[in-house]
Amino acid sequence: MKLWIVLDERPGDAKEGYLVIFHPQDKRFGLATKPAGADAGVLLGLHGNFIQTVNSL
Protein backbone atom coordinates (compact mmCIF):
# COMPACT_ATOMS: atom_id res chain seq x y z
CA MET A 1 0.00 0.00 0.00
CA LYS A 2 1.43 3.37 -0.98
CA LEU A 3 0.56 6.32 1.22
CA TRP A 4 1.56 9.98 1.05
CA ILE A 5 2.76 11.83 4.14
CA VAL A 6 1.01 15.21 4.15
CA LEU A 7 1.69 16.43 7.70
CA ASP A 8 4.25 15.59 10.36
CA GLU A 9 3.02 16.51 13.84
CA ARG A 10 6.62 16.95 15.05
CA PRO A 11 8.80 17.52 11.98
CA GLY A 12 12.02 17.92 13.99
CA ASP A 13 11.58 14.58 15.78
CA ALA A 14 12.22 11.36 13.85
CA LYS A 15 10.59 9.09 16.44
CA GLU A 16 7.81 10.96 18.29
CA GLY A 17 4.55 12.34 16.94
CA TYR A 18 1.99 11.26 14.40
CA LEU A 19 1.90 11.48 10.62
CA VAL A 20 -1.19 12.53 8.69
CA ILE A 21 -1.23 10.37 5.59
CA PHE A 22 -3.26 10.31 2.38
CA HIS A 23 -4.40 7.14 0.62
CA PRO A 24 -4.63 8.18 -3.05
CA GLN A 25 -6.75 5.21 -4.17
CA ASP A 26 -9.36 5.65 -1.42
CA LYS A 27 -9.01 9.45 -1.43
CA ARG A 28 -9.04 9.44 2.38
CA PHE A 29 -6.73 10.77 5.07
CA GLY A 30 -5.56 8.91 8.14
CA LEU A 31 -3.06 8.71 10.98
CA ALA A 32 0.14 6.71 11.24
CA THR A 33 2.99 6.40 13.68
CA LYS A 34 6.55 7.20 12.71
CA PRO A 35 8.95 4.34 12.03
CA ALA A 36 10.80 3.11 15.13
CA GLY A 37 14.31 2.00 14.23
CA ALA A 38 14.17 -0.79 11.66
CA ASP A 39 10.42 -1.28 12.17
CA ALA A 40 7.96 0.40 9.84
CA GLY A 41 5.40 2.88 11.10
CA VAL A 42 1.87 1.70 11.81
CA LEU A 43 -1.27 2.85 10.02
CA LEU A 44 -3.72 3.64 12.81
CA GLY A 45 -6.69 4.14 10.54
CA LEU A 46 -8.30 6.17 7.79
CA HIS A 47 -10.56 8.95 9.06
CA GLY A 48 -12.03 10.64 6.00
CA ASN A 49 -11.09 14.19 5.08
CA PHE A 50 -8.07 16.19 6.23
CA ILE A 51 -9.93 18.22 8.90
CA GLN A 52 -11.50 15.10 10.45
CA THR A 53 -8.07 13.48 10.59
CA VAL A 54 -6.34 16.49 12.17
CA ASN A 55 -9.16 16.76 14.71
CA SER A 56 -8.55 13.13 15.70
CA LEU A 57 -5.02 13.97 16.83
SS3 content of the chain, % helix, strand, coil (to 5): 10, 45, 45
Taking each continuous run of H as one helix and of E as one strand, the counts in the chain are 1, 4
Express each pLDDT in 5-27 by its tens digit.
Answer: 999 999 999 888 999 999 999 99
Round the average pLDDT of the chain to a whole number and report it: 92
Residue 32 pairs with which residues in a beta bridge? Answer: 19, 43
DSSP assignment string, 22-47: EETTTTEEEEEEPPBTTBPP-EEEEE
